[in-house]
Amino acid sequence: QVQLVESGGGVAQPGRSLRLSCAASGFSFRTYGMHWVRQVPGKGLEWVAVLWSDGSKEYYGDSVKGRFTISRDNFENTLYLQMNSLRAEDTAVYYCAREDYGRLGRDFYYYGMDVWGQGITVTVSS
Amino acid sequence: DIQMTQSPSSLSASVGDRVTITCRASQDIRNDLGWYQQKPGKAPKRLIYAASNLQSGVSSRFSGRGSGTEFTLTISSLQPEDFATYYCLQHNSYPRTFGQGTKVETK
């Protein structure tokens, strides 16, 4: 079945780095854009980053721009989030999610995130 | 950036009630809006995409309407499993933005 499984979370000190992974299965990973979304415990959802299916474009939220890097390996069906210069406010549950899309002829239409991983906890604390 | 203003932030309702949640976008997003349900400790689950399209497998008591800047999610007859937090998400442009969430609690 279609599945996303995050790993790599844990505790890191402020200023240090952590890399999250998201293993995809059950669908053609290389044809989908992929996102990271995070949620501070007890708070709302915050979009973090997106990477195009072929890796050609990426966008970031303002709070992580310049510190986080999204990447993917379409042979290993895996999405990554490299998190550098971590801050206490990066403490959250991180979800990877798939971008739903449709195609009509040569035109693509995008419909937001349809499949989500179970989430992985990142705690930034000294 | 597009701001999504969701209301109310919480509501109390009973099983069988009709519930409506609203999201307003700070600019025209056509019909590029989705609705998500999240239960404690779980990932969000998409209910509606493109403003009014029901996600496969989701109960037809959920419906979405709207276009441009104003959108609604309606639960026609609230069921026990519907007590959760609901979020809207605009997928018109980057950065993607979520509404602040609406927690549906039992009265």
Residue of B43, B96, B97 lying closest to A116 (CB–CB):
B43
Cβ partners under 8 Å of residue A24, min gap 6: A3, A4, A34, A77, A78, A79, A98
Residue of B45, B91, B95 lying closest to A111 (CB–CB):
B91
- The distance of A112 to chain B (nearest Cα, Å) reads 5
* Measured distance CA(B65)–CA(B88) in Å, rounded: 12
Q: What is the pLDDT of residues B68-79, one digit of tens each?
A: 999 999 999 999
Q: How many helices (H) and strands (E) does chain B have?
A: 0, 11
Q: What mean pLDDT comes out for the span B58-62?
A: 98
Q: What mean pLDDT comes out for the span A11-21?
A: 97
pLDDT tier at B14, thresholds 50, 70, 90:
very high
- The distance of A55 to chain B (nearest Cα, Å) reads 16
Residue of B44, B46, B53 lying closest to A45 (CB–CB):
B44
B contacts of A114 (beta carbons < 8 Å)? 46, 49, 55
Say yes or no for a CB contact (<8 Å) between B87 and A44: yes
Kindly report the length of chain A.
126
Task: Tell me if residue A114 falls in helix, strand or coil.
Answer: strand
**DSSP state letters, B61-104:** TEEEEEETTEEEEEESS--GGG-SEEEEEE-SSSSPEE---EEE
pLDDT for the residue numbered A34: 98
A contacts of B100 (beta carbons < 8 Å)? 44
A contacts of B32 (beta carbons < 8 Å)? 110, 112
- The distance of B17 to chain A (nearest Cα, Å) reads 25
